[in-house]
Amino acid sequence: MAQQAFLLQSSPISSQPHSRWGFLLILSLLFNALCLVIIGKHGQLLNRGSKTENLQSLGWSRKAAEEAEAAAQYSCSGHGYVFVDTFRRNQDGTPVCECNECYLGPDCSEIDPNCVANADSGDPGFLEPFWMANSEAGATVVPAWYRMSYRIKDGSAAMFSPELEEQIRAIHALVGNAVTEERYIVLGTGSMQLINAAINSLSPTQSSNPAQVVAAVPYYGAYKGQTELFDSSDNLWTGDARAFQERTKSLNSTTFIEFVTSPNNPDAQPNEAVLKGKNVKAVYDHAYYWPHFTAISHPVDEDIMLFTISKLTGHAGSRLGWAIIKDYDLYQKMYLYIQYNTLGVSHDTQLRATTLLKAIISGYKQSKGMKAFKTDSKQLLFHYAYPVMRRRWESLERIFSASDRFSLQNLQPLYCNFFGKVTDPSPAYAWVKCEREEEDCAAVLEKAGIIGRAAKEFGADKRYVRLSLLRRDDAFAVFERRLQALVSHNKTAQESM
């Protein structure tokens, strides 16, 4: 607690004479009472299990630990945050809260009635409550001199923490979603960086025939965006992979780089490459191949596979992705790309990711009978996250079932090896179709106060729009309300016709 932390700093208790001791104690009790009165007014305290008594035994990390715990204990009415880097106090001593979208006021307790629901971003805020409940297991302390070098170790060219590498292999082994034995791993600043690393490494150099980069519609927009942005003479974006299905053989001197997202962003389908042939290089993006989003049917084992911590642990802001690669030459090319591009991935991020992965793995190790949903899910990431995503999808299914103007993608229950049972769909996004001809679905939703991602970002027809199910509870609740109002309004309008 902040007030106790204050005491620790200011009272070397054991060496004081008794009378001074008593005076300090009374003073501190008064101070504590005052703090409680002030804090009670605005930024309610959270009981996040801070163990300040242990801080007494800390050395150089004490100040940082105190600051981190002091910030973390405010709930901001459950609709905001006090983060350690921006921790400031208002004049009345209450903390400055950073309110969630749609919430206002010094303690974030007021809802903005005109707020637009933002269902555009793939920000995985739905996992924040899990990490709050597991704040001790997931916390990282970074010493000021921690791995300051460009390299992970003196005398080695490595940019990749061996401990992180072990944890990445261990999380795949735990989940059973990818083969990593005898495979190479390259880290990227998010899997975003690895998209171009793969394109660059798979393209022929200085050829009169550049590689054609494709993906089946609807595709994740960054494949197109990055290819066009980097504008290399070695490759070019040529659009929908299906347009080349019949032609890859006749174009056998052209390299095709096909991005295959599985399960897909936006529609959660378990995609396979649509192009076949020696000249086709498929890059499998498995950002969402984790048990909270889809059933794990088998360990995937393609030539190049991309994963990201963003959708696994939810730490999108830490920017860490990895590629699992079969071929040594390709691994070396991608490694060189990262070296020239950013000289590796932040060591601070690697440390944090190592701790987070260890926390997930040890949560499962400590629990017995991990296949049973009955197990205490508070420390089991996938057992916590799957029901959250499932409830959100069920809610959308219920809302849209009352509508014949909008429809959702069709997803089926599938057997999940990780949970050891058939699981119902729990996708990251809804891929909504407006059933009326010629309707611009993103514009229809925008009019109703819901921002989705328009179909053109995915190369698709404007009758579709992507809605994110990944955001914080608050954002999802506002989105749910707006969606319900839109569907109910349509229904009443139709009934009165």
- Regarding 95 and contact with ligand PLP (CB under 6 A), the answer is no
Q: How many residues does the chain have?
A: 497
How big is the site for ligand PLP, counted in residues (CB under 6 A)? 13
- Of 100, 200, 308, 426, the residue at the interface with ligand PLP (CB under 6 A) is 308
Q: How far is the CB of 260 from ligand PLP (least distance, A)?
A: 10
Residue 346: both structure tokens together = 């932040």
Burial class (CB in 10 A: 0-12, 13-18, 19+), 275: buried
Q: CA 481 to CA 395: how far, in whole Å?
A: 11
- Of 321, 344, 427, 459, the residue at the interface with ligand PLP (CB under 6 A) is 321
Q: How far is the CB of 293 from ligand PLP (least distance, A)?
A: 11
- Regarding 258 and contact with ligand PLP (CB under 6 A), the answer is no
Site string for ligand PLP, 393-432 (x = CB under 6 A): ----------------------------------------
- Of 43, 80, 106, 122, the residue at the interface with ligand PLP (CB under 6 A) is 122
Q: How far is the CB of 122 from ligand PLP (least distance, A)?
A: 4
Of 433-462, binders to ligand PLP (CB under 6 A) are: none
Q: How far is the CB of 285 from ligand PLP (least distance, A)?
A: 5
Burial class (CB in 10 A: 0-12, 13-18, 19+), 234: middle
The residue ranges of DSSP E strands in 227-351, in sequence order, are 235-240, 256-261, 280-285, 304-308, 321-325
- Regarding 265 and contact with ligand PLP (CB under 6 A), the answer is yes
H helical segments located in 186-221? 190-202
257 in Cβ contact with 457 (< 8 Å): no
Pairing of strands 235-240, 280-285: unpaired
- Regarding 220 and contact with ligand PLP (CB under 6 A), the answer is yes
Q: How far is the CB of 316 from ligand PLP (least distance, A)?
A: 5
State which amino acid sits at residue 135: S
In the bound state with ligand PLP, the residue whose beta carbon lies nearer, of 106 and 452, is 452
Q: CA 456 to CA 466: how far, in whole Å?
A: 10
Residue 309: both structure tokens together = 């911590």
Q: How far is the CB of 437 from ligand PLP (least distance, A)?
A: 30
- Of 199, 316, 324, 330, the residue at the interface with ligand PLP (CB under 6 A) is 316
What count of Cα atoms within 13 Å lies in the side-chain half-sphere of residue 205?
A: 3
Site string for ligand PLP, 180-209 (x = CB under 6 A): ----------xxx-----------------
Q: How far is the CB of 321 from ligand PLP (least distance, A)?
A: 4
The helix-helix angle for 190-202 and 328-342 (nearest 10°) equals 120
Q: Rounded to the nearest 5°, which phi and psi values hold at 419?
A: -85, -10
Q: CA 170 to CA 188: how far, in whole Å?
A: 19
- Regarding 302 and contact with ligand PLP (CB under 6 A), the answer is no
In the bound state with ligand PLP, the residue whose beta carbon lies nearer, of 59 and 317, is 317
Q: CA 479 to CA 451: how far, in whole Å?
A: 9
Site string for ligand PLP, 272-291 (x = CB under 6 A): -------------x-x----
- Regarding 261 and contact with ligand PLP (CB under 6 A), the answer is yes
Cβ-proximal residue to ligand PLP, closest one: 190
Q: Rounded to the nearest 5°, which phi and psi values hold at 255?
A: -85, 130
Q: CA 243 to CA 353: how far, in whole Å?
A: 40
CB atoms within 10 A of CB 299: 16
Q: How far is the CB of 124 from ligand PLP (least distance, A)?
A: 9
- Regarding 314 and contact with ligand PLP (CB under 6 A), the answer is no
Q: Which residues sit at the interface with ligand PLP, rule CB under 6 A?
A: 122, 190-192, 220, 261, 265, 285, 287, 308, 310, 316, 321
